[in-house]
Amino acid sequence: MQLFEKLIEYPEAERLVLESTPLLPVEEKPLGEALGLALARDLTATTDSPPFDNSAVDGYALRSADAEVGRVFRVVDEAPAGRPAKRSVGEGEAIKIFTGGVIPEGADAVVMVENTSGWGEEFELKKSPTPGTNIRDAGEDTRKGDIILGAGTEVGAPEIALAATQGYGVLPVYRRPRVVVLSTGTELVEPDTRDLQPGEIFDSNSYAVVAAASEAGAEARRLYAASDDAQTLRTAIEEALLSADVVVTSGGVSVGEKDLVKSTMLALGVEQVFWGVKFKPGKPLFYGTRDETRLFGLPGNPVSAMVCFDLFVRPALMRMMGREDKRRPRILVYFERDIVNKFGRLHAMRVSLKRTQRGWLAESVGAQGSGLVSSLTKADALALIGPASEGIPAGEPIEAIVLRDEKLQ
- Comparing CB distances to Mg ion, the nearer of 284 and 300 is 300
| Residue 383 C-beta: closest distance to ligand AMP, Å | 23
**Calpha distance 138→50 (Å, rounded):** 5
- Comparing CB distances to ligand AMP, the nearer of 45 and 261 is 261
Instruction: Establish if 252 lies at the interface with Mg ion (CB under 5 A).
Output: yes
Residue 293 corresponds to which amino acid? Answer: T
x/- site string to Mg ion, residues 130 to 169, per CB under 5 A?
A: ----------------------------------------
Alpha-helical segments (H) within 111-186 = 157-165
Omega prior to 281 cis, within 30 of 0: yes
User: Per CB under 5 A, which region of 28-36, 136-144, 243-251, 263-271 contacts Mg ion?
Assistant: 243-251
| Residue 242 C-beta: closest distance to ligand AMP, Å | 21
- Say which residues have a Cβ less than 8 Å from residue 81's Cβ, sequence separation at least 6: 54, 98, 99, 100, 101
* Residue 195 DSSP one-character state: P
Choose, by CB under 6 A, the member of 148, 188, 346, 392 that binds ligand AMP: 188
Residue 244 corresponds to which amino acid? Answer: A
Instruction: Compute CA 97 distance to the chain's CA centroid, rounded to the nearest angstrom.
Output: 42
| Residue 328 C-beta: closest distance to Mg ion, Å | 28
Choose, by CB under 6 A, the member of 59, 252, 276, 297 that binds ligand AMP: 252
Instruction: Establish if 134 lies at the interface with ligand AMP (CB under 6 A).
Output: no
Site residues for ligand AMP, 191-230, by CB under 6 A, read 201, 203-206
- Say which residues have a Cβ less than 8 Å from residue 270's Cβ, sequence separation at least 6: 288, 289, 290, 295
User: Per CB under 5 A, which region of 36-44, 131-139, 179-187, 378-386 contacts Mg ion?
Assistant: 179-187
Choose, by CB under 6 A, the member of 21, 116, 133, 183 that binds ligand AMP: 183
Q: Could you tell me if 276 and 312 are in contact, meaning their C-beta atoms sit under 8 angstroms apart?
A: no
Per the DSSP assignment, residues forming a β-bridge with 274 are 287
Alpha-helical segments (H) within 254-378 = 261-267, 302-308, 314-320, 373-378
- Say which residues have a Cβ less than 8 Å from residue 68's Cβ, sequence separation at least 6: 125, 128
User: Per CB under 6 A, which region of 72-80, 151-159, 184-192, 359-367 contacts ligand AMP?
Assistant: 184-192
Q: Could you tell me if 346 and 384 are in contact, meaning their C-beta atoms sit under 8 angstroms apart?
A: yes
Residue 334 corresponds to which amino acid? Answer: Y
- Out of ligand AMP, Mg ion, none, what residue 129 binds, judged by CB under 5 to 8 A for its kind, is none
3-state SS, residue 32: helix
* Residue 317 DSSP one-character state: H
- Out of Mg ion, ligand AMP, none, what residue 187 binds, judged by CB under 5 to 8 A for its kind, is ligand AMP
Instruction: Establish if 375 lies at the interface with ligand AMP (CB under 6 A).
Output: no
| Residue 250 C-beta: closest distance to Mg ion, Å | 9
**Calpha distance 86→81 (Å, rounded):** 13
| Residue 326 C-beta: closest distance to ligand AMP, Å | 26
Q: Binding residues for ligand AMP, how many (CB under 6 A)?
A: 18
Site residues for ligand AMP, 283-312, by CB under 6 A, read 299-302
Choose, by CB under 5 A, the member of 101, 104, 129, 251 that binds Mg ion: 251
User: Per CB under 5 A, which region of 60-68, 182-190, 229-237, 357-365 contacts Mg ion?
Assistant: 182-190
Phi-psi region of 360 (alpha: psi -120 to 50; beta: other; left: phi over 0): beta
**Calpha distance 113→99 (Å, rounded):** 12
Site residues for Mg ion, 290-309, by CB under 5 A, read 300
Contacting positions for ligand AMP (CB under 6 A): 183, 185, 187-188, 201, 203-206, 250-252, 254, 256, 299-302
List residues binding Mg ion (CB under 5 A). 185, 251-252, 300
